[in-house]
Amino acid sequence: MTTDHVLEVRNLSVRYGPALALHDVSFDVRAGSVTAVLGTNGAGKTTLARALCGLVRPSAGSILFDGTDLVGRRADQIARAGLMYLPEGRGIFPGLSVGDNLRMATVSHPREQRSENIDRAVEYFPVLAERLGQRAGTLSGGEQQMLSLARALALRPPLVIADEMSLGLAPKMVDMVFEGLAAAAAAGTSILMIEQFVHRSLAMADSALVIRRGGLAWQGPADGAAEAVEEHYVPSGRTSSA
């Protein structure tokens, strides 16, 4: 285990019945870095995310998170260990105020740290600061997405997997998602970012993985990924010579 890696994935494979959705994927995530996970629809990006956070059991391979193998652990144990999956969607309490949603996210923190952590989450997403007293269910869809992200980031997890957080959001809200994730990264959270906006995510990322048909087609520094993305973004069904 190299100490500056928060995550070491080795030979990871996932099956859905007879179908091999992910095969023999190996990569590392450096502590405090942003990794863009790229690939066409159906390539296996969400399957990778779900395997890492314990929502689907790998058929082979290991996932070392801070030196501990996560394979076989339950999703809630993995989340408590600090690997947080942010699936597309909300996961907030609509009947509670924005402030109470944030307070609930941090109830497990030592009391003296709670307000500090909430302040930090609101700093990531200033739009929420003006709405602390508003019922979360009355926020716009984009604002609810911000709140969901802010709740997760208030916990200061070591590693966040952000799965298509910008999907369906208005451009201004997409900007806020990227800004919030960038602020969290600057504060030391490692981020694995699955994104439809390839060039935007590469601009923010340190490194990139390109998944293709369940395999790792390319990995390397984000500033060298553009060519690989062009080469490997072949819509499913076409042959690999493209």
- Least spacing, CB of residue 23 vs ligand ATP, in Å: 11
**CB-wise, 156 or 212, nearer to ligand ATP?**
212
**CB-wise, 31 or 167, nearer to ligand ATP?**
167
**CB-wise, 103 or 212, nearer to ligand ATP?**
212
**CB-wise, 33 or 47, nearer to ligand ATP?**
47
- Least spacing, CB of residue 15 vs ligand ATP, in Å: 9
Q: Are 153 and 84 in contact (CB under 8 A)?
A: no
- Least spacing, CB of residue 99 vs ligand ATP, in Å: 33
Which residues share a beta bridge with 83? 159
Could you tell me the end-to-end alpha-carbon distance of the chain, in angstroms, rounded to an integer? 37
- Least spacing, CB of residue 93 vs ligand ATP, in Å: 27
Contacts with ligand ATP by CB under 6 A lie at: 16, 19, 21, 39, 41-47
**CB-wise, 37 or 122, nearer to ligand ATP?**
37
Cα 16 from Cα 14, distance rounded (Å) = 7
List b or e across 178-195, with b for residues whose CB sees 16 or more CB atoms inside 10 angstroms. bebbebbbeeebbbbbbb
- Least spacing, CB of residue 229 vs ligand ATP, in Å: 14
Whose structure tokens read 């070591």?
158
| Close Cβ partners of 66 (under 8 Å, ≥ 6 residues apart) | 6, 81, 82, 158
